[in-house]
Structure 1
């Protein structure tokens, strides 16, 4: 024990202390939720458990099951068809299939509410009126918005699939259909389940669409407990249950990845060959691929454009431009700090010599797996306590009366964004840094250069593409974020996402189209960038 302590003392350096500080700083919201559980629930908790909690659990399970089925059908079928067969407009469909990711699910929900509403397109074309403002309508909307997670993961697997496996199956008498269901689909399971886990985390994080469609979920329950019941304790308990569900999903995904895998010899690898099909099958497959594109992007964007043409004179004002500027600025600042913290976590872990601290570095990237509403609650409580302490301190020490310094300010909001999206910046930078290896940095150190100088002069320039991609992805995610922003934004600050939500909540759905279209346009660039990355894998 004494020797081990001496080793820790010997290996501890300034990077160890800084790395531990950053990890603890980023992990504060998660730790807040955990430690506040020991204070007990609010006064209405027992009533909520009997009356509302079963409804939250039931609705969330139905959403998870329904969305899982529909996203798997949309995502896997589309990915296999564009990877395996030559169909009309294949190259265009490859990137159109990803574009629904550019539209937040709550915006898609607003668009479909208008499409199915009285006087909408469906009402004019069909004699039967369909009510989409329910649980099943929400499943359809979420599936149409989120299936690209499954599509991207599945397509990345399929285009790297060796043709040898398919040829071996056919030699043994397997048909094209049987080969897909019995061989290719089981092999692709780790890929599409990984995409499905992201879908389910987004489903559990959703607030805007569920609230607008009147479906009670854990996220809407957290908002109700915090704002309507004014019981932070109850909100924390609901947040803890939601976090537990998320981590169960993550554990399941990690386990199945370990259990299932195969090795594909690079010596005998042959790229997946296109399978010839007749004209009738081509038309069928083209229709199958076109359906998710229409449902996830073409229909909702067309509705938004139609509304924007009708309402832009009332909505496109100087106030709107001011909100757009605030939204862009917040996203830029948050993306910048997310990149800074991600770089610090990655490189300080390399420069630190303590393996025990390196092991906990990943804690700093857990925020993306936790819903925005939970992160907001985890930020709000400690910042409120810190502000109260500062107010008391300044009053007693200097006889000064001050207001809140952190809580209810941009500082708390940007901090929450960084905690939530640091993993989005971390992953592409870490992947690129691992490809770089250690030889370049070690050669620089042998020439007497410090870690920091080596990073600035050599490693940082090599990381520019990864940093740019991480920056763009964080920027877009912050632009779309709704539940976290609703809880933490200062009164004088607004974003396009909140503006669209406010219009829709006031039954001014058409007016919500312009801010929604601005958000969609900012999401298209990284989607095209993502498609190019996947295509390079060919």
Structure 2
């Protein structure tokens, strides 16, 4: 029998709270009166939404796999000019929110943008005289998302290539395989768990994206959920589309699990292979191939934002932008502190009571990271709106007063959604630090008469400073960039940098959107720089 304690009960309550949004979606979608809504969706837009979402996820997964795996192979197996710098710089696109880079490429590549305008001026072309890639399309989304998301694959595959001992390649060469044949027949199959894990994460991120998809005018399940709730005022349709999107996300997770099969990650000991030195045109080619995704995913968009922002430099001191930045910082600070507290509680509970059901509850509590922000927002609104209505009815009957919307009309709903969405980020950071603390330290401290609270306060917390800082920083940046949940759940007159970028870009005021976009990118660089610092040390 599991041993129940205050920590165990709190862990159970957290897991139930995390399940509340999905439970609300399920109950709303299964209402008998709303089955006609589902039939209408199935007969009209559902197939189009699902097809576009699936093509987007598969296309971005393939593009990210090619860019991430190729660049990881080059920087881990070869030495060429700029290789050491590129090894960490290839992570920089992680700091660029997808909706920001989508706005940048649209501004640069649209018909009235500088690229096409320059081509028409140079060759004296008119409209219809030439073909140009349409950036605001499903194919454009796949290209843009691949440039932003490939680092998820790169960071995992690079580590997999680095961890392989030299003996594997030596045995392959002794069997008559060339270096290229060894890559395709031996090393890539061995790195498949890392590739599949990275691609699954990329597919989930693609399915969850809202801002760039909405701006490009591509109909996917995320934009359909938003339209159903706000444009048509139909929570049943929104709930049913949301469950369809959750189904696609779960499909991505199942594919990842099935593709890996029994494969596991293991640290390999032994001598590491010596990188092959590339000089001349070969070194230049390797440098160019690795630099292309970095240029497309960070350098060129960042430079374009900087140029646009310099033209709007006065906006940096504008009271409105300072207020937007203040709101973003406030929400990110509150959410990261809340996530850290809950992550410490879950981590400490499973450390003290090391049993299966508590570990299962913790895994259940962090599943919100796999739920797209739009889905989560609708799932949060359904139960909290019902609670608000019940509270108002009770207050009217008991006191004859009409109170406001206590939950959905305040920051509570937004902070709750942030907690559910990003708790996994904080838990993983705290757990990785907790696992490095030997259990013998706990036994020694308790042997000296310290209570469990004192052990946490005097032993664990000082040793957890690095993990706690990482948890706070990662959640802080994720909240700063989060758009769909923020735009749906924010109270009136509470705009953030992310929502302001979305509003300005939707009005085609891309130059004005550059300043808040650049602020978000600057904050997003913080965890990337910490990660690259750790990579350089390793």
**TM-score strictly above 0.5:** yes
| Distance in structure 2 (CA, Å) of the matches to 1:534 and 1:264 | 16
Q: 1:32 aligns with which of 6, 20, 24?
A: 24
Are the aligned partners of 2:52 and 2:220 in contact in 1 as well (CA < 8 Å)? Answer: yes
After superposition, the C-alpha distances for 1:421-449 in whole angstroms (9 at most, x for unaligned) are 00001102112212213111122222332
Alpha-carbon distance, 1:354 to partner: 5.9
Are the aligned partners of 1:225 and 1:231 in contact in 2 as well (CA < 8 Å)? Answer: yes
Aligned to 1:3: none
Are the aligned partners of 1:15 and 1:351 in contact in 2 as well (CA < 8 Å)? Answer: no
Aligned to 1:15: 7
Moved more, 360-369 or 435-444: 435-444
Alpha-carbon distance, 1:353 to partner: 6.7
Moved more, 62-71 or 510-519: 62-71
Q: CA RMSD in A?
A: 1.8
| Distance in structure 1 (CA, Å) of the matches to 2:290 and 2:117 | 26
SS at match of 2:140: helix
Alignment partner of 1:133 is 2:152: no
After superposition, the C-alpha distances for 1:246-279 in whole angstroms (9 at most, x for unaligned) are 112112223333422476763xx11231113341
CA shift in 2, pair 1:354/1:195, >3 Å = closer
Are the aligned partners of 1:114 and 1:303 in contact in 2 as well (CA < 8 Å)? Answer: no
Are the aligned partners of 1:315 and 1:511 in contact in 2 as well (CA < 8 Å)? Answer: no
| Distance in structure 2 (CA, Å) of the matches to 1:135 and 1:471 | 35
Q: 2:207 aligns with which of 204, 207, 229?
A: 204
Q: Give ranges in structure 2 of 5+ residues lacking alignment.
A: 121-129
Q: 2:58 aligns with which of 62, 65, 74?
A: 65
Aligned to 2:473: 472
CA shift in 2, pair 1:326/1:316, >3 Å = same
After superposition, the C-alpha distances for 1:232-259 in whole angstroms (9 at most, x for unaligned) are 1111111111111111211222333342
CA shift in 2, pair 1:208/1:338, >3 Å = same
Aligned to 1:240: 243
Alpha-carbon distance, 1:287 to partner: 0.8
Alpha-carbon distance, 1:513 to partner: 0.7
Aligned to 1:290: 291
| Distance in structure 2 (CA, Å) of the matches to 1:441 and 1:399 | 55
Q: Give ranges in structure 1 of 5+ residues lacking alignment.
A: 1-6
Aligned to 2:349: 348
| Distance in structure 2 (CA, Å) of the matches to 1:444 and 1:28 | 39
Moved more, 519-528 or 90-99: 90-99
Alpha-carbon distance, 1:398 to partner: 2.6
Alpha-carbon distance, 1:394 to partner: 1.8
After superposition, the C-alpha distances for 1:93-119 in whole angstroms (9 at most, x for unaligned) are 122211111011111000000110234
Alignment partner of 1:256 is 2:268: no
Aligned to 1:142: 145
After superposition, the C-alpha distances for 1:459-487 in whole angstroms (9 at most, x for unaligned) are 11111101111111111110110000010
| Distance in structure 2 (CA, Å) of the matches to 1:512 and 1:428 | 33
Q: 1:78 aligns with which of 46, 71, 77?
A: 71
SS at match of 2:366: helix
| Distance in structure 2 (CA, Å) of the matches to 1:361 and 1:101 | 27
